[in-house]
Amino acid sequence: MIEYEALPYIPYFIEKLFLKNKNYILNFDDNIWSNYENKLLLRNKLDSLVENASGVIVANSFLEEKVSKLNNNIIKIPTVIDIDDYENNNIIKFDKFTLVWIGSPSTYKYITSHSHIFKKLSKIIDYKLVIIASKDLIDEAIVGVNMDFYDWSTKNEVKILKKSHIGIMPLDADTFAQGKSSFKIIQYMAAGLPTIASSIGENCNVLENNKTGFLVDDEESWIDSIQKLYDDKKMYDDFAMKAKSNAYEYSIQKYFKEFNLFINKTFKEKN
């Protein structure tokens, strides 16, 4: 099993030697094709890897459509959570109404590109924005917004999510975002959080609009959606309950058997 590629940023003809006489399955949960768009020696690398793979696992519809043109042994399995990790219901919420974002320093750019929304929101409601990624990002904090930064770890991830009130997943309309999986939304659902997310790519398939959260596309809809959940406790509780119940649909508990069957079938046919 190979996550994306065995040798990142190395041309295919070299990786081909490394993989010679090996059966391999590729696993894609993000559109990393965008990394190589402007690199002549790498532009077709991923296509070649996919064409010669024994099988491919993709995590979203965008990748499924892309990969199906290159390989006919594919399966769509979302990036899954273990729902057992989220079963502690004794965690008390933060005192202040909290929006939470979990991610990596490289995708924090989607927070800063929406900074005008968080600044305007700070003048309307009393809230805190929690970032689970790296404490070092405090140097890129949004001026005028009450923010807390945490280093990501498996130990504190679930606790901080469950202490928060709303999960957010802002994106920009770039090629990477179009093929990005919505694992953040899945994590938020498992933690029992309504989600506000940009109406881009896989977000539109994972988030049930007006049921587990809101899909938004501009400053007005971002602020209006957050205000609704801030002001209406019944709506908030209904969304949170529905989100929690939907989490099973994106869990290892649901997909473990299907995943194993695909792996075993693929390698059995190649041997």
Q: At residue 271, does pLDDT exceed 80?
A: no
Reduce the secondary structure of the chain to three states and give it as a string. CEECCCCCCCCHHHHHHHCCCCCCEEEECCCHHHHHCCCCCCCCHHHHHHHCCCEEEECCHHHHHHHHCCCCCEEECCCCECHHHHCCCCCCCCCCCEEEEECCHHHCHHHHCCHHHHHHHHCCCCCEEEEEECHHHHHHCCCCCCEEEEECCHHHHHHHHHHCCEEEECCCCCHHHHCCCCHHHHHHHHCCCCEEEECCCCHHHHCCECCCEEEECCHHHHHHHHHHHHHCHHHHHHHHHHHHHHHHHHEHHHHHHHHHHHHHHHHHHHC
* Per-residue pLDDT, 270: 66
* Per-residue pLDDT, 236: 98
Average pLDDT over residues 71-96: 94
Average pLDDT over residues 184-203: 98
* Per-residue pLDDT, 99: 99
* Per-residue pLDDT, 75: 98
* Per-residue pLDDT, 138: 96
* Per-residue pLDDT, 167: 99
Average pLDDT, the chain: 95
pLDDT tens column, 203-261: 999 999 999 999 999 999 999 999 999 999 999 999 999 999 999 999 999 999 999 99
* Per-residue pLDDT, 150: 97
* Per-residue pLDDT, 241: 97
Give percent above pLDDT 90 in the chain: 90
* Per-residue pLDDT, 137: 97
* Per-residue pLDDT, 247: 97
**pLDDT bracket for residue 53 (50, 70, 90):** very high
Q: At residue 269, does pLDDT exceed 80?
A: no
For CATH 3.40.50.2000, the residue range(s) in the chain are: 83-249
> Which CATH number applies to 83-249?
3.40.50.2000
Q: Of 134 and 21, which is predicted with more confidence? A: 134
For residues 269, 32, 67, 213, the Cα torsion angle rounded to the nearest 10 degrees is 110
pTM across the whole model: 0.93
Average pLDDT over residues 120-140: 97
